[in-house]
């Protein structure tokens, strides 16, 4: 047996051994993924308002920041349900001497479809839930609180969201979404107005 034949056999044997040894390693992440059926997480987001909360109808609000907590349940390797609570504080705006501060609290249930898997890669999502908007305005030393009427009908603050995200690994990811909602605001004397509460949300999320 010459040296070339000997080396060829050694290399072939080594490749075969590597494939055999690597097979269970490749299968391990898939088995692990199935066991991670439910996880909690948290995130931070940048929010940019539009619609009535961004102009003088209710606002004007400016770009702000928010926090999010959520629980995610995997249905299969490509689908998941997520329940989340987001709190967003928009930047203070001013219109003709009136200063306005707006904050929103949202409770959403999202359906997630992952292109590759729920642990890594690109995913799309859509969700429904409730949006509560608090508006505080002040002028000349007078301050009034506006509150979102919740609890039924067109004034319930029902909202929806659509978006896309990318998980860099099973823990860390980011996403972009649009939120659309409407409701009624009331002030001191009982007067009310219909408004829309919309914004673009860019988030960074961490799953434990």
Determine the Cα angle at 102 with ends 164 and 179, to 5°: 20
Mean pLDDT, residues 160-183 taken together: 94
* pTM exceeds 0.85 for this model: no
Top-level class of domain 40-207: mainly beta
Q: How far apart are CA 47 and CA 96, in angstroms?
A: 24
In angstroms, what is the C-alpha Rg of the chain? Answer: 25
Mean pLDDT, residues 187-201 taken together: 75
At 205 the pLDDT is 97
Mean pLDDT, residues 64-83 taken together: 95
**Domain boundaries along the sequence of the chain:** 1-35, 40-207
Higher-scoring residue by pLDDT: 117, 189: 117
Higher-scoring residue by pLDDT: 181, 146: 181
Say yes or no to pLDDT of 16 above 80: no
Selection from 44, 62, 60 nearest residue 52 by Cα: 60
- Measured in residues, the chain has a length of 208
Higher-scoring residue by pLDDT: 208, 140: 208
Contact predicate 159/179, CB 8 Å: yes
At 1 the pLDDT is 54
Mean pLDDT, residues 60-82 taken together: 95
Cα–Cα distances in Å, from 55 out to 52, 60, 96, 157, 163? 5, 4, 12, 19, 24
At 169 the pLDDT is 92
């Amino acid at each position: 047996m010459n040296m070339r034949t000997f080396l060829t056999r050694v290399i072939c044997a080594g490749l075969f051994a590597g494939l055999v040894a690597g097979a269970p390693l490749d299968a391990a992440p898939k088995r692990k993924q199935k066991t991670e059926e439910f996880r909690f997480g948290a995130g931070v987001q940048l929010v940019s308002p539009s619609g009535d909360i961004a102009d003088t109808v209710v606002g004007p609000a400016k770009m702000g920041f928010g926090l999010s907590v959520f629980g995610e349940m995997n249905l299969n390797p490509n689908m998941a349900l997520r329940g989340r609570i987001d709190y967003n504080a928009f930047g203070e705006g001013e219109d003709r001497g009136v200063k306005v501060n707006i904050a929103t609290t949202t409770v959403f249930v999202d359906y997630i479809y992952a292109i590759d898997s729920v642990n890594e890669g690109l995913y799309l999502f859509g969700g429904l839930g409730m949006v509560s908007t608090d508006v505080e305005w002040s002028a000349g030393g007078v301050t009034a609180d506006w509150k979102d009427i919740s609890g039924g009908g067109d004034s319930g603050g029902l909202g929806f969201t659509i978006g896309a995200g990318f998980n860099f690994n099973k823990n860390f990811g980011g996403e972009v979404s649009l939120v659309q909602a409407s409701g009624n605001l009331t002030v001191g004397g009982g007067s009310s107005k219909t408004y829309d509460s919309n914004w673009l949300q860019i988030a960074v999320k961490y799953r434990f």
